[in-house]
A and B are shown apart, each in its own frame.
Chain A
């Protein structure tokens, strides 16, 4: 931004604060996975699942292996399904209505 010191501050919530506003029921098991761990380990260098995720579900590991999947953060937007250019994301709906419940949407 150019010098516009008069711009008011706006809230910049952390992901944790953001997710705190969403009603969530833990399905118990992850509804997300990778098809073949080897693709993340050997073929993937871009970690597009991490870049696209608005909820910090997918996290790149230091050893550059399979990303950690914090499935309980998931907002069920589905973006990682399309983002992975290797088609390596396994994405299912959380069972029986568990997962996010938006109040406003």
Chain B
């Protein structure tokens, strides 16, 4: 990326004599070879999508460079907690990956503001067997570093502490990137944008429109450290088993569209809240205050009390679904992962990691094919978009694209009324007094039906949410 003058033979008198730290460690900027035009593909961001693309391209014998703005892959990344691994397990020696625990138990919990909780919990035996339904708690610092290493071992070049600031165009087509390094222009026939939720490069270059705030969620999260035994006792876990708990209702994040979560790692818990930015600006509490209230809920506090906060983090999540996605393919460039809006949230499935890896993999394949064919215009790269369209990625996003808007319309019912109505119904149904169970049942039913808006309202809601189960 630097000029020949800095790295070539005529670099001037040699300052490193006896006092230098050794001959092999010049400063990064003067060490940087001239990479301009040396690569077939530039990957913007060494996160899940970027490393998947780099790994795939390197295995196709393409010269590929990853530009990462953090000082190591993963240091700028935040997620809730589950890595879904169907593709990454195929791409790597996944046994070696730094993992925390597999998801042995999944719980959905509805919290009322008054302190009630209604939970459904599942631990199918199949999840305890390999490959554990491809669902692992990980921590992104070491996981993303490991994944990027797999790409480097396959032949990719990784440059850190380098931020891509813009795209370079030639004759209208994308032909490289601009970085914040001195003489930081880098040309290559293809660019894979894997820059994450804050897709400044794609937006700045006019490849993506800024998202609306209804379509983006803010998340605040704490990682807290405990004894391993404390975690295993509290959540009834052994060995590598882990628990994933998702919380909804106004006891979790008020009447905002969103929820809370707890994921068990080996010796830490990831505890957080996620809710739409549109709701956050109308809430008088800031996200850290919402997180504190969630932690104090009577159903949550006993699980997370004590311990020591070892990291606080926050990030935005693009949740706009297929309608908010940018065009994925451009002349000389493709967009992947969070930058492409590949996040699924339908209340039950909260996925992004799998689609980031899948999109990086499919992008890598399409770019390799296009390079082999000697053409890198949008038509030549279209296989990437087609592959996603034919895969679970677009199928799922299209199928559930309606969910968050519908949930926003029904927020009062879903997040305010339902958690309390269910708790009241449970209280009635299991009541111990002089009345008969028929009366208790009738009273319980009344609570739920009334919250639903009568039988007609219940039927309408069942119709509206039917697609969650088909």
Asked if B218 contacts A1 (CB within 8 A), the reply is: no
Least CB separation from A95: chain B residue = B180
Binds B, one of A33-41, A62-70, A71-79: A71-79
Asked if B301 contacts A91 (CB within 8 A), the reply is: no
Measured between beta carbons, the chain B residues less than 8 angstroms from A77 are: 78, 218-219, 314-316
Asked if A78 contacts B287 (CB within 8 A), the reply is: no
Cβ proximity bits B266-308 to A, threshold 8 Å, 1 near / 0 not: 0010100000010011111011100010011110011011010
How many chain A residues touch B (CB < 8 A): the figure is 48
Q: How far is the CA of A75 from the CA of B307 in the complex (A)?
A: 23
Q: How far is the CA of A10 from the CA of B262 in the complex (A)?
A: 15
Q: How far is the CA of A51 from the CA of B160 in the complex (A)?
A: 33
Which residues in chain A, 78-101, are within 8 Å of chain B measured between CB atoms? 78-79, 81-83, 85, 87, 91-93, 95-97, 99-101
Asked if B301 contacts A105 (CB within 8 A), the reply is: no
Q: How far is the CA of A12 from the CA of B134 in the complex (A)?
A: 34
Measured between beta carbons, the chain A residues less than 8 angstroms from B180 are: 95-96
Which residues in chain B, 216-269, are within 8 Å of chain A measured between CB atoms? 216, 218-220, 222-223, 268
Known contacts being A82-B211, A82-B216, A105-B74, is A75 close to B305, with CB within 8 Å? no
Known contacts being A93-B163, A105-B78, is A82 close to B212, with CB within 8 Å? yes
Measured between beta carbons, the chain A residues less than 8 angstroms from B302 are: 7-8
Asked if B277 contacts A54 (CB within 8 A), the reply is: no
Q: Shortest Cβ distance from B36 into chain A, in angstroms?
A: 19
Cβ proximity bits A3-31 to B, threshold 8 Å, 1 near / 0 not: 01011111111010111011000000000
The secondary structure that dominates the A interface is: loop
Asked if A13 contacts B309 (CB within 8 A), the reply is: yes
Asked if A52 contacts B76 (CB within 8 A), the reply is: no
**CB < 8 Å: which of B141, B200, B219 contacts A91?**
B200
Measured between beta carbons, the chain B residues less than 8 angstroms from A93 are: 69, 163, 165, 198, 200
Asked if A10 contacts B286 (CB within 8 A), the reply is: no
Measured between beta carbons, the chain A residues less than 8 angstroms from B281 are: 46, 48, 51-52, 83, 85
Known contacts being A83-B277, A96-B161, A96-B180, is A52 close to B296, with CB within 8 Å? no
Asked if B280 contacts A11 (CB within 8 A), the reply is: no
Q: How far is the CA of A104 from the CA of B281 in the complex (A)?
A: 28
Asked if A104 contacts B277 (CB within 8 A), the reply is: no
Q: How far is the CA of A56 from the CA of B34 in the complex (A)?
A: 41
Q: How far is the CA of A77 from the CA of B78 in the complex (A)?
A: 9
Closest 7 CB pairs of A and B: A97-B161, A105-B140, A54-B287, A18-B312, A48-B281, A54-B314, A77-B314
Interface residues of B (CB under 8 A from A): 69-72, 74-79, 113-116, 139-141, 144, 160-163, 165, 180-181, 197-198, 200, 210-213, 216, 218-220, 222-223, 268, 270, 277, 280-284, 286-288, 292, 295-298, 301-302, 304-305, 307, 309-316
Q: Please name 25 pairs of A and B residues whose Cβ atoms are closer than 8 Å in the assembled complex, sorted by A.
A: A1-B115, A2-B115, A2-B116, A7-B115, A7-B302, A8-B302, A10-B296, A11-B295, A12-B296, A19-B312, A22-B311, A46-B281, A48-B281, A55-B314, A78-B197, A83-B280, A85-B213, A96-B163, A96-B180, A97-B75, A97-B160, A102-B141, A104-B140, A105-B139, A105-B313
